[in-house]
Amino acid sequence: MTPGFQGRPRSGAPDLPPGQYLTPDFPVLSAGPTPRVPRDQWEFVISTETGTQHRWSWDEMMALPQETPTVDIHCVTRWSKLGTTWRGVSLDTLLDGVDSAADYALAHCYGGYTTNLPLDDLRDGQAWLVHTFDGADLPAEHGGPARLLVPHLYFWKSAKWARGINLTVEDTPGFWETAGYHDYGDPWREQRYQGD
Amino acid sequence: MRWQAARLVDRRVETSTAQTLVLEVPGWPAHLPGQHVDIRLTAPDGYQAARSYSLAAPADGDRIEVTVQRVPEGEVSPFLVDGYREGDPVEVRGPIGGWFVWRTQQTDPVLLVAGGSGVVPLMAMIRARRAAGNRTPFRLIYSVRTPADVFYAEELRRRVRDDAGLDVAYVYTREAPDGWRGEPHRLGLADVNNHGWPPALEPSVYVCGPTGFVEAVSDLLVGLGHPARRVRTERFGPTG
Ligand SMILES: Cc1cc2nc3c(=O)[nH]c(=O)nc-3n(C[C@H](O)[C@H](O)[C@H](O)COP(=O)(O)OP(=O)(O)OC[C@H]3O[C@@H](n4cnc5c(N)ncnc54)[C@H](O)[C@@H]3O)c2cc1C
């Protein structure tokens, strides 16, 4: 206990993951400058462990069935934001027809960022490739033109400026995971750093 | 990574709103300049709050330093600056972060760009350079509201005098000191051109400060031709 510390009274605080606090704004956290990717040069590629590639241009991606998830998001730097609304394509839609026995996914991005997830965490309505936030085009600083949205994991797994996903048989730690952050990143189990 | 017991052993006033806290953390491992710690406070009713703070200096045995700026209406920083007393316990974990770091073996020129309290991890780099007797050319561009808001003012003056190859340029956004050339302004292209390294010298660039500052400066640097992967950024907290 630290003598004198009271904390801020939190009456009616919602049920947040441990160690998180609510923020009304939308903080920006990333490791380098913001990449700017024009839509006509954007593409999204899923590559399987055998090297087969599935590609979508911007227009092709937009022609797929779109969903409008409203979800809570939790950043490892401790802010949480509730009830955020996005629009994009379910990863189930993108993975449909992709023939793979892989267990892992490594998301990679314009700008070079990577992050790893178990492939199962991208399935069953748990993940989207989103291009719209709060009814407007996703701004570049928040990962536009398109980013992953995997709200059940810490937000660094929701890779900004998404360019593709490599499906792999073995787990390959990504950018923050190599820099000491947890491999999986479950906010409810407070898996922030390696060893948590 | 575990929470470790720590206690306050010393504090130094940096400005009217910021103080350096010296914490003793038994068994503290080494850390790299640029890394941070999480500090956790526990209230009598068990409520806890934790925030990240950059390590301001190389470790001195079990002693580490952080510099905390009071954020008006903040939950943790006003307590650390005004309420936290010598000898009292907190919990600390770290060191955290392996990307926004400078290693003394690096030989490329270094450009540091600080906005406000973003100078803290960059000062750790300047101090580590000095401690290692490293001669790598370093330039710091430090954007700050007024002269009274400069952290480590006296030490920076001394380092510029004594540490060969270190330059510091200040950009004042609200109020400039007498004799400073120019009007108060936000850091812009001319400042980076005048006080930075050209991309051709392939410097390592570290930018730290509030999110909006980091966004603007890193866009400028990339626009000037610095490859994005050589521009490392640390964004302190919320937008704006
Ligand atoms: C990697 C990292 C390193 C950091 N290093 C340092 C450091 O060396 N020194 C330091 O003083 N701070 C540092 N910070 C910021 C620090 O972690 C806290 O965010 C800050 O002290 C405010 O906490 P608080 O509890 O007082 O305010 P909170 O109760 O969290 O916030 C109160 C209000 O202030 C706003 N706010 C919160 N943080 C900031 C901010 N940083 N700037 C502007 N407005 C804010 C909030 O949106 C809110 O409206 C660092 C942050 C990160 C992520």
Which residues in chain B have their CB less than 8 angstroms from residue A81's CB? none
Per-residue confidence (pLDDT) for residue A33, from 0 to 100: 82
Per-residue confidence (pLDDT) for residue A13, from 0 to 100: 62
The CA distances from residue A80 to A19, A43, B64, in Å, are: 10, 30, 29
Q: Is the pLDDT of residue B8 over 70?
A: yes
In the reported structure, the alpha carbon of residue B31 is separated from the centroid of ligand 1 by a whole-number distance in angstroms of: 22
Pairing between β-strand A21-22 and β-strand A43-47 as defined by DSSP bridges: unpaired
Q: Is the pLDDT of residue B43 over 70?
A: yes
Q: For residue range B135-152, what is the model confidence (pLDDT) as tens digits?
A: 999 999 999 999 999 999
Q: For residue A96, how many other CB atoms are within 10 A of its CB?
A: 9
Q: Is the pLDDT of residue B239 over 60?
A: no
Using the Cα atoms of residue A185, residue A187, residue A189 and residue A193 in order, give the sign of their dihedral. positive
Rounded Cα distance between B183 and B186, Å, is: 10
Q: Which residue has the tokens 């603007």?
A: B216
In the reported structure, the alpha carbon of residue B71 is separated from the centroid of ligand 1 by a whole-number distance in angstroms of: 7
Q: What is the DSSP letter of B210?
A: S
Per-residue confidence (pLDDT) for residue B74, from 0 to 100: 87
**Probe ligand 1: pick from B19, B47, B236, B239, max atoms within 8 Å of CB?**
B236
Closest CA to A138 of A62, A56, A74, A79: A62
CA–CA min distance A180, chain B (Å): 6
CA neighbours closer than 13 Å in the CB half-sphere of residue A138: 28
Decide: residue B92, CB within 10 A, 0-12 exposed, 13-18 middle, 19+ buried: buried
Residue-by-residue DSSP string for B153-164: HHHHHHHHHHST
Per-residue confidence (pLDDT) for residue A14, from 0 to 100: 67
Question: In sequence order, which residues have a C-beta less than 8 Å from that of residue A155 and are 6 or more positions away?
Answer: A73, A74, A75, A76
Amino acid at B143: S
Per-residue confidence (pLDDT) for residue A11, from 0 to 100: 47
Per-residue confidence (pLDDT) for residue B175, from 0 to 100: 94
Q: What's the complex ipTM?
A: 0.71
Q: For residue B94, how many other CB atoms are within 10 A of its CB?
A: 23
Which residues numbered 32-61 in B keep a CB inside 8 Å of some CB on A? Answer: 41-44, 47-52
Q: Tell me the average pLDDT across B18-46.
A: 95
What are the residue ranges in chain A where pLDDT is below 70?
Answer: 9-14
Portion of chain B with pLDDT greater than 70, in percent: 98
pTM of full prediction above 0.90? no
3-state helix, strand, coil in chain B (%, to 5): 25, 35, 40
Q: Is the pLDDT of residue B179 over 90?
A: no
User: What residues pair up with A104 in beta bridges, in sequence order?
Assistant: A118, A168
Chain A residues with CB within 8 Å of chain B CB: 1-8, 10, 19, 21, 23, 25-35, 77-79, 111-112, 141, 175-176, 178-180, 193-196
Q: Is the pLDDT of residue B60 over 80?
A: yes
Q: For residue A155, how many other CB atoms are within 10 A of its CB?
A: 24
DSSP-derived 3-state class of residue B150: coil
Which residues in chain B have their CB less than 8 angstroms from residue A35's CB? 228
**Probe ligand 1: pick from B53, B123, B232, max atoms within 8 Å of CB?**
B53
Cα-flanking dihedrals φ and ψ of residue A26, to 5°?
-125, 90
Query: Rounded to an integer, what is the distance from CA B3 to the centroid of its chain?
Result: 23
Q: Do A111 and B90 touch (CB under 8 A)?
A: no
CA neighbours closer than 13 Å in the CB half-sphere of residue A165: 28
Q: Tell me the average pLDDT across B93-99.
A: 90
